[in-house]
Chain A
Amino acid sequence: MRALDRIALTCGLGFLYAPILILVIYSFNASALVTVWGGFSTRWYGVLVADVPLREAAGISLVVALASAALATVFGTLAALALDRGGRFAGRRVFLGLIYAPLVMPEVITGLSLLLLFVGFGLDRGLLTLVVAHATLGLGFVAVIVGARLRGLDRSLEEAAADLGAAPARVFATVTLPLIAPSLAAAFLLAFTLSLDDLVIASFVSGPGATTLPMRLYSQVRLGVNPEINAASTLLVGTVTAIVLTASWLTGRKGSA
């Protein structure tokens, strides 16, 4: 490997990981000052465990992430199937645009526009609106991931099953679904992570009693750097890393990446 390439990779990955590493290291800092090292301690994790509002917020985030990821996976997979198998249906371009829109649209716009919809139809803001908003956000990502897997699928397997007399529903359940299952799992996990991570959209569409973890963290971050947040961040980073590694392992299997 060339020396220049090595430098580029080291600097690039160093730039990406250094801030996260610093954050993790300082979560074990005994001192309350975030920039002064006062020795190793797990006291901030104790503070974290005793923080009831934060724990409640984490619970709400988990519920919303699970429900919205499930919805996003179902609808996103249907969308991917429609694009891959549906032929040239009317409005296909508009459909494609609507799938991709939430992927690139600035979050403030997604959040505000969804809120205006909910208010316009007199829906109370809370868990339900959060789930719907996050499912909409995740849908596009699911469609992209599952769509990539569908395109890479060997269609002769499905044709063989059909030739041997299986009805379309049976072909789907016994051949297609098992083949795309890893990508479904990966897509679900990514939709889950997106929901768990979202601050901006949640701030718009959530109501009293439905404060998510990022919303709670944000209100504390605004007050300045604080070691308890470092501890919470470390746990969150650990969780997400585990999820991403699982997802990339799932998509990486059977050469589907």
Chain B
Amino acid sequence: MKRLLPVLPALWLAAFVLLPVILTLKISLSTPATAQPPYLPVLDWSAGIEGWGSFLEALDFTNFETLASDALYRDAALSSVTLAAIATAILALIGTPIALAMARAPERWQPRLVALLIVPFWTSFLIRIYAWIAILKPEGLLSAGLMKLGLIARPLEILNSQGAVLIGLTYAYLPFMVLPLYAVLTKLDPRLPEAAADLGAGPTRVFWTVTLPLARPGLTAGALLCFVPMVGEFIIPDLLGGSDTLMLGRVLWSEFFSNRDWPLASAVAILVLVLVVGPLILFREDEATEREAGR
């Protein structure tokens, strides 16, 4: 009975998570064609071993060569990683004080604060990003407000720029950074910072030498939860970035929907996977070291 438990979910996951990724890898090595499905080669099951032979022969790395040689894709990859990294850094910077404040809040407030943080996180992503268009556009609320205050003379040209994408990324992923940080900070033994303070360390020194090192697992988890999906983000660059901001998620989308180049879109997908698998492995090792150290 116990042995049968994993069977059904494992079959589902193999069919709808593992197999699709393998197929994507296969199609990333194919050539686009005006056919249904729009790529070649298609494996001919009836041809047996011979079919496999000619099928494998027809696969090549052309799409990855295109990705590597065309400046468009290089720039998209570079700006995806750069924007995701900058946004993750900003999030760490603003997320830490928020998580710390939550962890230090009176205990009866804490569940409510967590709920307050989670509600927008489950509220339509599309709508939350759409809301920023009305704020950031030149005749929008931000420019109007700043002009009324006399801080700027002309409307801001921030919508359709990388700045707007950074604001969108920071906004959308804030809970992903704060929640793991809070989870670690709330379990932190309050006697440790107290002891440091008793021994004469100022609040800044306590933070840098005691709180932050202890909060590191939360910070890494948060950074990972933000960085990985950000690299492949589509909605934010599409709605806030204008035509100049290229990110891999958007390139994949337009190769697929506009150019109908499924093999190239698949190659972009594989590239994103490779880009994000790196940080994931680093994280696992980090986690393993933490566990070792904890023993």
Interface residues of A (CB under 8 A from B): 1-2, 4-6, 8-9, 11-13, 15-17, 19-20, 22-23, 26, 34-35, 75-76, 78-79, 81-82, 85-87, 89, 91, 95, 98-99, 101-102, 104-110, 112-114, 116-117, 119-120, 132-133, 135-136, 139, 143, 168, 190, 193, 196-197, 199-200, 203-204, 214, 217-218, 221-222, 224-225, 229, 233, 236-237, 240-241, 243-245, 248, 252, 257
With both beta carbons as reference points, the residue of chain B lying nearest to A84 in the complex is identified as B5
CB-based contact A139/B9 at 8 Å: yes
Please tell me if B47 contacts chain A, counting CB pairs below 8 Å: no
Residues of A within 8 A of B235 (CB): 199-200
Residues of B within 8 A of A243 (CB): 122
Distance in Å: Cβ of B255 to nearest Cβ of chain A: 10
* Total number of B residues with any Cβ neighbor in A under 8 Å: 84
With both beta carbons as reference points, the residue of chain A lying nearest to B24 in the complex is identified as A113
Residues of B within 8 A of A78 (CB): 5-6, 8-9
CB-based contact B262/A116 at 8 Å: yes
Please tell me if B288 contacts chain A, counting CB pairs below 8 Å: no
Interface members, chain B 217-235 (any A CB < 8 Å): 224-225, 228-229, 231-235
Distance in Å: Cβ of A23 to nearest Cβ of chain B: 4
Q: How far is the CA of A110 from the CA of B276 in the complex (A)?
A: 14
CB-based contact B131/A4 at 8 Å: no
Q: A12-B174, A197-B126 are in contact. Are A106 and B249 (CB under 8 A)?
A: yes
Residues of B within 8 A of A116 (CB): 20, 23-24, 27, 262, 266
Q: How far is the CA of A98 from the CA of B133 in the complex (A)?
A: 36
CB-based contact B9/A101 at 8 Å: no
Q: A108-B234, A225-B137, A244-B118 are in contact. Are A95 and B178 (CB under 8 A)?
A: no
Residues of A within 8 A of B214 (CB): none
Give the dominant DSSP class at A's interface. helix
Residues of B within 8 A of A252 (CB): 111
Q: How far is the CA of A113 from the CA of B237 in the complex (A)?
A: 21
Inter-chain pairs besides A8-B100, A139-B9, A243-B122, 8 sampled, C-beta below 8 Å: A5-B97, A16-B117, A19-B171, A35-B140, A104-B280, A107-B249, A116-B24, A139-B13
In the complex, number of A-B residue pairs with CB atoms less than 8 Å apart: 243
With both beta carbons as reference points, the residue of chain B lying nearest to A16 in the complex is identified as B120
Interface members, chain B 121-142 (any A CB < 8 Å): 122-128, 130-135, 137, 139-141
Interface centre among B13, B15, B137, B266 (most CB of A within 10 A): B13
With both beta carbons as reference points, the residue of chain B lying nearest to A92 in the complex is identified as B6
Residues of A within 8 A of B18 (CB): 98
Distance in Å: Cβ of B276 to nearest Cβ of chain A: 7
Contact of A19 among B101, B135, B139, B257 (CB under 8 A): B135
Query: Chain A interface: which of B48-56, B65-73, B102-110, B189-197?
Result: B102-110
Please list the 4 inter-chain residue pairs (A to B) with the smallest Cβ-Cβ separation, ordered nearest first: A106-B232, A113-B20, A5-B101, A82-B6
Residues of B within 8 A of A8 (CB): 97-98, 100-101
Residues of A within 8 A of B127 (CB): 20, 23, 217, 233, 236-237
Contact of B37 among A12, A16, A120 (CB under 8 A): A120
Distance in Å: Cβ of A201 to nearest Cβ of chain B: 11
Q: How far is the CA of A35 from the CA of B127 in the complex (A)?
A: 16
CB-based contact A15/B265 at 8 Å: no
CB-based contact B128/A20 at 8 Å: yes
Residues of A within 8 A of B21 (CB): 109, 113
A-B contact pairs, 18 of them (CB 8 A): A1-B105, A12-B178, A85-B5, A95-B10, A98-B13, A112-B24, A112-B265, A112-B266, A112-B269, A116-B23, A116-B24, A120-B37, A199-B125, A204-B256, A225-B133, A233-B131, A236-B124, A244-B122
Contact of A99 among B1, B13, B119, B272 (CB under 8 A): B13
Please tell me if B146 contacts chain A, counting CB pairs below 8 Å: no
Interface centre among A20, A113, A200, A237 (most CB of B within 10 A): A113
CB-based contact B106/A1 at 8 Å: yes
Please tell me if B147 contacts chain A, counting CB pairs below 8 Å: no
With both beta carbons as reference points, the residue of chain A lying nearest to B265 in the complex is identified as A112
CB-based contact B126/A95 at 8 Å: no
CB-based contact A136/B128 at 8 Å: no
CB-based contact A197/B101 at 8 Å: no
Q: A98-B14, A107-B234, A236-B124 are in contact. Are A35 and B249 (CB under 8 A)?
A: no
Residues of A within 8 A of B120 (CB): 16-17, 20
Residues of B within 8 A of A237 (CB): 123-124, 127
Q: A86-B5, A116-B262, A190-B122 are in contact. Are A109 and B232 (CB under 8 A)?
A: yes
Q: How far is the CA of A91 from the CA of B141 in the complex (A)?
A: 54
CB-based contact B16/A114 at 8 Å: yes
With both beta carbons as reference points, the residue of chain B lying nearest to A236 in the complex is identified as B124
Residues of B within 8 A of A5 (CB): 97, 100-101, 104-105
Q: How far is the CA of A112 from the CA of B37 in the complex (A)?
A: 14
Q: A78-B9, A108-B252 are in contact. Are A225 and B134 (CB under 8 A)?
A: yes
CB-based contact A19/B2 at 8 Å: no
Q: How far is the CA of A79 from the CA of B239 in the complex (A)?
A: 36
Q: A9-B101, A82-B6, A217-B127 are in contact. Are A114 and B234 (CB under 8 A)?
A: no
